[in-house]
Structure 1
Amino acid sequence: MGTEIMEPLILDAKNAAGGPVVSERIPEWKEQITMRGLAVSAILGTLFCIITHKLSLTVGIIPSLNVGAGLLGFFLVKSWTVFLKKLGFQVSAFTKQENTVIQTCVVACYGLAVSGGFGSYLIAMS
């Protein structure tokens, strides 16, 4: 029988002092995949595919763009929600899980551009 972890691995200031552990509710997977997340994923996926093609055909080296995908996804959705709140609309909160879904979709999109052979040097030579 394995042992289970019964306490958080990282203690916050309140928990380190012996206070109660405040747990965050993790939304179900259906709540993590939203229309705004898919829209931002499609926009950023298209943008990153163009960047990947350009880098592949000119330089030949593709850096890992997953951090950029996560930051841009966070920026776009966060500014979207703030803008809609200022207009008076009721907007659901932006979660870490939603940002992870956006980042995963964008990385999958530009991964197709890298591994699909579209940026091959043979195409650049023609």
Structure 2
Amino acid sequence: MASKIAEAELDSVEKVFAAQEAVPSWKDQLTFRSFVIGFLLTILITFIKVKVSLNTEIIPSLNVCAGLLGYFCLKVWTQCSSQLPFTRQENSVIQTCVVAGSGIAFSGN
């Protein structure tokens, strides 16, 4: 019975994204708004990582925070300005920028 429910849910998810192309071109994935939000969140996450590590001597991994904050910022950006809705790939670009940038900045500390 559980496999029937899982198959039904899988079918519905596939139907939602059936009209979209599988993977957009790299030019559509790397957008200005994803880099701006990625840069701003990199600064924020870097300060948080440095502050926490100096106080507790533990290096936090804030990957999930970067993904959630990126999603939230893009959602607010698209609602405030009448632009196209953001894609899953843009959220991945933001998370990658934040994790890589804060890692490099923290390592240089």
Structure 1: give runs of 5+ residues left out of the alignment. Answer: 1-9, 86-90, 119-126
Q: Deviations over 1:26-65 (max 9, x none)?
A: 2111111111111101100000111111112111112210
* Structure number with bigger Rg: 1
**TM-score between both structures, scaled by the size of structure 2:** 0.80
**TM-score between both structures, scaled by the size of structure 1:** 0.70
Residue 66 (structure 2) aligned to one of 57, 66, 69: 69
Residue 100 (structure 2) aligned to one of 99, 103, 108: 108
Could you say which residue in structure 2 is the equivalent of 1:93? 85
Counterpart CA distance in 2 for 1:94 and 1:33 is 11
Could you say which residue in structure 2 is the equivalent of 1:5? none
Counterpart CA distance in 1 for 2:84 and 2:48 is 31
- Please provide the CA RMSD for this pair: 2.3
C-alpha displacement at 1:112, in angstroms?
1.2
User: In the comparison of the two structures, how many residue pairs are matched?
Assistant: 100
What SS does the corresponding residue of 2:81 show, helix, strand or coil? helix
Structure 1 stretches of 4+ with a deviation exceeding 6 A read: none
- Report the identity percentage: 45
